[in-house]
Amino acid sequence: MIQTVGSASPILDVRNLTVTLHTPKTSVRPVDRVSYTVNRGEVLAIVGESGSGKTILNLAPLGLLPAGVDSDLEGSVKFEGQDLLTSGEYKLRAVRGGGIGVIFQDPLSALNPVRKIGRQIAEVAEEHLKLTPRAAEQRAGELLSLVGLPDPLSRLQQYPHELSGGQRQRVGIAISIAGEPRLLIADEPTTALDVTVQAQIISLLKDLQRRLKMAIVIITHDIGVVSGLASKVAVMYAGRLAEIGSVDDVLTRSVHPYTLGLLNSVPTLKAPIGSRFSGLPGSPPDLSRRIDGCAFTPRCSHAIPGCERGRPPLVHAPGDGPEHLAACPVVMNKLALELA
């Protein structure tokens, strides 16, 4: 099949991706037949708890897994028409940092502690944009001012430990966009930061996305931070998508009880003072075991006896657009009845 890279085709097309990881101690399947697309200039938020597979889903196809882990990837992950799963390490390296930029959760561990910040940014620009060292250094200065670091030129000469957490994350973002990527993958970019800095970083990402016309995939466990940034939201549970749709569909007309549980667990300024916090009971399932039926059943308040038989498929939510899909027949049947 010939695929043309036009503006109509999605920049990232993930089809039936399954990831199995093997370490000397155990094997797990953190991603199980997941499909989604990201269009040019779109912001997709992938939300789920620790261990839901959301990070592996994004990093495994790029070959970014910790050393000592063997991975089996099935399905296809097409970036601008090129299947990343069948690309060799050499081609992947050109994609990483070039076509796809990555922001990591912990900015300190993603930066080299003994090299100047300017060099670290310039390196990426040299590699992917084929700039001369001097031009790359100049570009690094521009990038630092683009990500809103005050006094960017003197920052170029600083080392990571001389910066605060928020400033380091800005440097991390500058590095990730230095190769002028068309897609930015941000893995929990705000989790390690204060609420105030978190707001700054979210607003920076929104601003960059608009100015550089990038697509962004933001991975987070905090469904609270996605409402102002994402255009599309995918909720992931136990290696599968529980719900996916436009940000308004998923956050305001949520279908899946897991999505609702995540939304309810975000503390708001509306709950009565002194009242109990609402969250999700229990913890996510062990992904090294077989899961029968809906993986969320043990923690679900809507669960009925049929739920532990057969994993529910992802289908259109009744009454909503064709883009809004969810995997909970119990709630969907109720909705369909109400509509009828």
Partner 1 sequence: MMSGGLINIVDLKTHFRDRRTGAEVKACDGVTVSIGEGEIVGLVGESGCGKSTLGRTIVGLERPTSGKIIFRGEDLLSLRGRRLAESRRQIQYIFQDPYSSLSTRQTIGQAIDEALVINGEKNAKARRKRTEELLAAVGLPTQIMDRYSREMSGGQRQRVCIARALAANPKVLICDEPVSSLDVSIRAQIMNLFLQLRDEMGMACLLIAHDLAVVRQAAQRVYVMYLGRLMEIGESGALYGTPSHPYTQALLSAIPDTDPRQERARQRVLLNGDVPSPVNPPTGCRFRTRCPTAQAICETSPPAKVMGPDHIAACHFAGEVNLAPTQH
Partner 2 sequence: MKAIKDLYKAVGLPICLLIGFFIFIAVFGKYLSPYDPNAQNLLKASQTFGAEHWFGTDNLGRDTLSRLIAGARTTLFGVTLVLLMAGTVGMLIGTISGYFGGWIDEILMRIIDFGLSVPSLVVALAIVGVFGPDFWNMIIALAIAWVPIYARLTRGVVAAAVNQPYIESLRVLGASRTRIIVKHLTPAALGSVLIYASADAGVLALNIANLSFLGLGVQPPQAEWGQMLVAALPYLEEAPRLVILPGLSLTVMVIGFNLLGEAIALAKNPRPMSKRRLFQRRREFLKEIAA
Contacting residues toward partner 1, per CB under 8 A: 49-50, 150, 164-167, 194-200, 202-203, 221-225, 227-228, 230, 247-248, 251-252, 261-263, 265-281, 283
Comparison of 67 and 340: residue with beta carbon closer to partner 2: 67
264 three-state secondary structure? helix
Phi, psi of 94 (to 5 degrees): -70, -35
Q: Report the residue number, 74 or 151, with the smaller CB distance to partner 1.
A: 151
Contact 263, 55 (CB under 8 A): no
CB of 285 to partner 1, least distance (A): 12
Among partner 1, partner 2, none, the one that 174 touches (CB under a kind-dependent 5 to 8 A) is: none
| CB 97, CB 110: distance < 8 Å | no
Residue 134 one-letter amino acid: R
Chain residues in the site for partner 2 (CB under 8 A): 20, 22-24, 27, 29, 67-70, 72, 288-290
223 close to 34: Cβ distance less than 8 angstroms? no
* Least Å from the CB of residue 22 to partner 2: 5
- Closest approach of Cβ 339 to partner 1, in Å? 22
Strands (E), 124-182: none
* Residue 156: both structure tokens together: 């170029």
The vertex-60 CA angle with 280 and 71, nearest 5°, equals 100
**Of these partners, partner 1, partner 2, none, which one is at the site of residue 27 (CB under 5 to 8 Å by kind)?**
partner 2
In angstroms, give the least distance from the CB of 183 to partner 2.
30
| Residue 195 contact partner, candidates partner 2, partner 1, none, CB within 5 to 8 A by sort of partner | partner 1
Closest contact distance (angstroms) between CB of 107 and partner 1 is 13
Report the C-alpha gap between 77 and 58 in whole angstroms.
Answer: 10
Helix 165-177 and helix 133-146, axial crossing angle in degrees, nearest 10:
130
Q: How far is the CB of 14 from partner 1 (least distance, A)?
A: 24
Question: Other C-beta atoms within 10 Å of 27: how many?
Answer: 12
Is 270 or 289 the residue whose CB approaches partner 2 more closely?
Answer: 289
Backbone angles phi, psi at 107, to 5 degrees: -65, -30
Indicate which of partner 1, partner 2, none lies near residue 339 (CB less than 5 to 8 Å, by partner kind).
none
Partner from partner 1, partner 2, none contacting 319, C-beta within 5 to 8 A by type: none
